[in-house]
Structure 1
């Protein structure tokens, strides 16, 4: 009986050792899988087979901040200046477009572009006091006669934009953007058509008339110029009415007039090389 009991203890000890060896082997495999990112699959047969993990190890990359481009304190562009007079007394916008297109390399003159300009041919209707009751909308096209042989007014950004886009596919309407954005555009070397007033002041008189797309409030002092430069205190304009190049105007005053006329502006983007 004692011999049998000794044999059982030896047999039990062998199974215990074998179990510990097996368990340590499995633990070692799992530890290896954890360290290497590989998973293991245990099949009914007891065979351990590697399974390709769908989880990729995380690659730690140090963040490198992109350099912030500081806006230049001043910039100036040498763009051609074109006079609207004598042919186009009401053509400040189309003449400003002519300057922008010529700067970009498009060989078009103001008369050619005036013929191509979108127009709102809605006839004018007057009130009994002579004020305008109903007329065209400058966001649709040029209102009136650009030569002022008859009553003529002007055109806004939305009306002029399609013509700019036809010649420069990268044209953008920057109406409503901050004036800082306009200056950044000039710093990149591209002028901006900007709506202001003839004397660069807030209009002292506003007029309102109805149009096919709703009422319009505006000023007959409305004007458009080409923004070609700026510094901390001034802006510099190619003015089609005076024919002056890089005309210096107080920046704060100019921004007020631009804001009063709806913060309108047109320009274009340089192609990505």
Structure 2
């Protein structure tokens, strides 16, 4: 009996000494034996075994910058291309990207819809090309010209920028994120940045088209909480400030058209 008691006493002292050694080591090394943790239980051999699992807090997302501005070349469409706002805006993007091409160099590569213009007896347009197919009319001003929309212009953009993306119908917040990443976008609006009160309809080889001769394209280069900033090919000026709500109204009625690219 005394031997058994003595043996148990020695074992108890050894165990206590071991625990004390571990705790002392943790104190001097800074490595906690136990820390704040989540406790779970697993069934092992009919009994609950306690398992210590360290809880990892989820990462906190950094707040988005409320504004961004990039410095892209500003190019004027006049005098050579009075109807060439789209290809001029694309040229600004190309030069910012690092492609050494001018608007007149790119002009022969612009996709065209050469459907002849036909008039109604009242002077309205009866039949003409479709800007979703290619540039409609005469871009140089030698005859009536109109423009080109995102799908047809995207073909030329993709030829020079392999990572080109058509962001048409994406939320405007996506274009703002592009600017945060230092990437401009070609966007469609109106010449005076106001919703048109006059629209026209004509028939085309792929069906009727409703549009406005106020149609315009610019290079989106910045934004803040109240405004957007564009390089406007009509004036040739950079960082033109436009009230954001006003701009979004015109961008919406023109079909939320936008061309951009990714960095990889």
Q: TM above 0.5, one fold?
A: yes
1:255 is matched with 248
1:181 is matched with 174
**1:10-68 CA distances to partner (integer Å, 9 max, x unpaired)?**
xxxxxxxxxxxxxxxxxxxxxxxx959xxxxxxxxxxxxxxxxxxxxxxx896663443
1:198 is matched with 191
Looking at CA atoms only, which structure, 1 or 2, has the larger radius of gyration? 1
Match 1:65 to one of 42, 47, 58? 58
2:158 is matched with 165
Question: SS of the counterpart of 2:237?
Answer: coil
Tell me the CA shift for residue 69 of structure 1: 4.2
Tell me the CA shift for residue 71 of structure 1: 2.2
Match 2:223 to one of 187, 211, 230? 230
Q: CA RMSD in A?
A: 1.6
Q: Point out where structure 1 has 5 or more consecutive residues left out of the alignment.
A: 1-33, 37-59
Indicate yes or no: 2:84 matched with 1:101: no
Q: How many angstroms apart in 2 are the aligned matches of 1:128 and 1:216?
A: 19
Structural mapping, 1:1-273, within 5 Å: 65-271=58-264
**1:64-117 CA distances to partner (integer Å, 9 max, x unpaired)?**
634434321111000000100000000000000000010000111000111111
Return the TM-score normalized by structure 2. Answer: 0.78
Q: Point out where structure 2 has 5 or more consecutive residues left out of the alignment.
A: 1-42, 46-52
Q: How many angstroms apart in 2 are the aligned matches of 1:137 and 1:174?
A: 20
Q: How many angstroms apart in 2 are the aligned matches of 1:187 and 1:162?
A: 25
Greater strand fraction, Structure 1 or Structure 2: 2
1:24 is matched with none
